[in-house]
A = this chain, B = another copy of it.
Amino acid sequence: MTPSQSVSTSDGLETVLDNATAAATRLAATSPAEIGGLLRAVASELDAHTEELVPLARRESHLPEGRLRGELVRTTFQLRLFAETVEEGAHLKATIDSPDPEWPTGARPDLRRTLLPLGPVLVFAASNFPFAFSVAGGDTASALAAGCPVVVKAHPGHPELSRRTAEIVTGALAEAGAPDGTFALLEGNEPARAALLDERVRAGAFTGSNSGGRALFDLASSRESPIPFYAEMGSVNPAFVTPEAAAGRGAEIARGYLDSYTLGVGQFCTKPGLLLVPASAAQRFRDVLIPEVEQRAPAPMLNEGIETAFHDTLGSLRNHPAVETLVSGRRTEDGVGPSLLYTGARQLVDNRQELAGECFGPVSLLVGYSDTDELLEAAGVFSGELTATVHGNEEESVVAPLFRTLRARAGRLVWNGWPTGVSVSHGMQHGGPYPATTAPTHTSVGTAAIDRFLRPVSFQSAPRAVLPEALRDGNPLGIPRRVNGRMESPEQG
């Protein structure tokens, strides 16, 4: 018996969830060092299978080899960074209050608080990052790092890669001593839906479309016992070019924009879907962009479903009376070429429902604004975005109000750069208010993603033997702890 199973029927699901429940109890008693070891073991085995996995991913996703190699590096780096984070132990937020008979709210008992794993987590894999947001991607890594068993719903866009990745993860976990049931793969919507509604599943995570994420969030919230459901659902990622930036370096910005919105055939949730430029400079942007967009070679999209949805949404945009088509992307045997559209900021504001939504694929909407008031008004159209980007000069007076408007609406604000390329790091925020996500207080990328799967528990006057190690006298784990309100770093910290 290995610690994983791949299941595509509701019959098999019973065993998967029973095993995950048993594993949850064992993992909850596992030390941070052991959890770190499991993550590192998975990373090593994935690395060791690079030459097998990359071609498999290439066949099923149509993404270029270089990109896939980089994505696998990112995936295993992520597992190791999370291992480091878990070993350091700050994520447990261990807090100790000593007894204090004089405490103003009444004699304070010995109170010790730490975070414990939530229990089995159901992860819905994405199609556009077959490694980094799929079977062994960020959600899986962060749930495992929290000490939660993981059940992954495979994305049908890369079934063979999903199975093979699951086998490798399974083998690595077994070899490293993880309990049975730590990891399992589900295929098909029926068992995934049943799992999401099952009491044994204690949290869900999803990366994908708005309609998919919202439907699953609604299911998770409608349970007899609702559970946290972290859906990351994509974004328009508006980018704004100030008058001075447009005047000073418009051509360079235009080329950066084109590279960013066509990266991965436009199939990034951080793709800049809109670029707002001064109307007075719009002609220059068009002059630079149109020939370059036309020259870009068509490339295959991830799968037929995504391509169909792209052309549907693109068609609606192009048919909108306020939208002018600057470049109509070619459709050839090799795939889809990028498109470029144009509208005015006034039209964007007035038609926000139709024009300020995500179109997943290689298209973006150039938008001309008449003055900075209109620019700020347009920035206020957005309600929840993963990112917002500003190209400007520091001294321009519009910069401060623009950032104030955007920081209330987006999870990451990019200055003189592009939002595609999400660094896996401590300071990363990949999230935002709805509709970017269903959980504005969290991130799905970066070390803080682990927090989503932890639950606080306080122990009041509890004897040493029942305390988690994180809370014991003498700090046996050597982790940072808050003691009587003050942070204490371990000796070796």
Contact = CB atoms under 8 A, between A and B. Distances in A.
Contact of A455 (B113, B435, B440): B440
A261 interface: no
A434 interface: yes
B111 A423 contact: yes
A106 B424 CA distance: 9
A254 to B, nearest CB: 19
A441 interface: yes
Nearest to A480: B487
A427 B113 contact: yes
Contact of A104 (B73, B112, B413): B73
A458 B465 CA distance: 41
A322 interface: no
B113 A429 contact: yes
Contacts of A441: 118, 228, 451-452, 454-456
A416 interface: yes
Contacts of A460: 412-415, 417
A462 interface: yes
A305 interface: no
Interface of A: 24-25, 28-29, 70, 73-74, 77-78, 84, 90, 93, 95-97, 103-106, 108-109, 111-113, 116, 118-119, 199, 202, 217-218, 221-222, 225-228, 383-384, 394, 399-400, 403-404, 407-408, 410-417, 421, 423-429, 431, 433-435, 438-443, 446, 448, 451-452, 454-463, 465-466, 480, 482, 484-485, 487, 489, 493
Given A403-B462, A415-B459, 5 more contacts: A25-B408, A105-B424, A399-B466, A407-B457, A426-B485
